[in-house]
Amino acid sequence: MPGESLRLIILARDDSPRIEQARAELREFLSRQSGVDVAAAGTIEDLRIDDVDADLVVTLGGDGAILRACRKLGRRQQPILGINLGRLGFLADLSPQEFRDEFPKIQQRQYRVVDHLMFDCEIHRADGSAERHLGLNEVAVSSAASLRMLDVNLAIDGELVTTYSCDGLIVSTPIGSTAHSLSAGGPILRQDLRAFVITPICPHTLTNRPLVDDAGCTYTLTVPDVPTGAMIVIDGQIRRPLLEGDVISIAAADVTFQLAKVPGHSYYRTLHRKLGWGGQPRYRDI
């Protein structure tokens, strides 16, 4: 509530000199603000935040730092506000100076929190073992070091949809639609949609196009003939070997990614800045 102390968790991408300098500058800035309580601070991987609640989790780094923070929070998702220390991100779209300029609004809770789709990815091995990962961007099945084409079977709610002959297949959330999926030719989805987009990587059939379907479905991937070196990649950060007999299942998670947005920093404004949507140049005949 306005008037109460703003409780923050500060998560740095790593402890590199550039990040450490940014964290020191942020700490010094916050120390000069009244009504601010830093509940916890540290690097994303090293900090234990299982029992810490906050109004905002502030990440230092970029979009990758937000992905790591989401995984760190697990089933205890809390609103995240990203400070970008590199190029403009789709999620972390505030520079350190913009964060300082906007802080009076942030302290007065003049920001909105929007829930976004996350997914659970379950990998079931032929030997009966299984592992489960919570993710935000995408699951990719990739030929990787095998340098061979894959035949990837896609089933939705148990119904076989098609077999993609490709270098890989991406199942992405709307948040992830501007990441690996976009570079593979997939569409841009509005971030708060409840949908998944399936995008083949270099499909060997021109009729294989990206597919958008409901987030209430379960998506199952299998590869009948797995070449050595093929990989399963989750959010670009978790890598597992793809093995013969693996069954990969992707479905909406029971938690959501909570993105905090300050006034004036909209999704379409970020797209405009990031993708250079300034219109086409007009040439005059000479």
Task: Please state, in angstroms and as integers, the Cα–Cα distance from residue 245 to each residue in 124, 125, 221, following that order.
Answer: 8, 6, 11
pLDDT of residue 276: 76
Q: What is the pTM of this model?
A: 0.91
Q: What is the pLDDT of residues 206-238, one digit of tens each?
A: 778 899 999 999 999 999 999 999 999 999 999
Closest CA to 167 of 179, 155, 190, 184: 184
pLDDT of residue 120: 98
How confident is the prediction for the chain on average, in pLDDT? 92
12 DSSP β-pair partners: 43, 60
Q: Which residues are catalytic?
A: 63
Q: What is the pLDDT of residues 63-82, one digit of tens each?
A: 999 999 999 999 999 999 99
pLDDT of residue 286: 47
Query: Hey, what are 23's tokens?
Result: 């964290």
Which domains, from first to last, does the chain contain? 6-111+262-275 (3.40.50.10330), 117-254 (2.60.200.30)
Backbone angles phi and psi of 102, in degrees to 5 = -90, -5
Give the dihedral of Cα atoms 62, 63, 68, 70; nearest 10 deg: 120
Query: Hey, what are 82's tokens?
Result: 């990203």
DSSP line for 136-202: SSEEEEE-GGG-S-EEEEEEETTEEEEEEEESEEEEE-TGGGGTHHHHTTPPP--TT--EEEEEEES
Q: What is the pLDDT of residues 151-170, one digit of tens each?
A: 999 999 999 999 999 999 99
Closest CA to 224 of 142, 122, 150, 145: 150
H-assigned helices in the chain: 17-31, 63-73, 96-107, 180-183, 267-275
Closest CA to 267 of 190, 197, 160, 159: 190
Closest CA to 259 of 53, 94, 108: 94
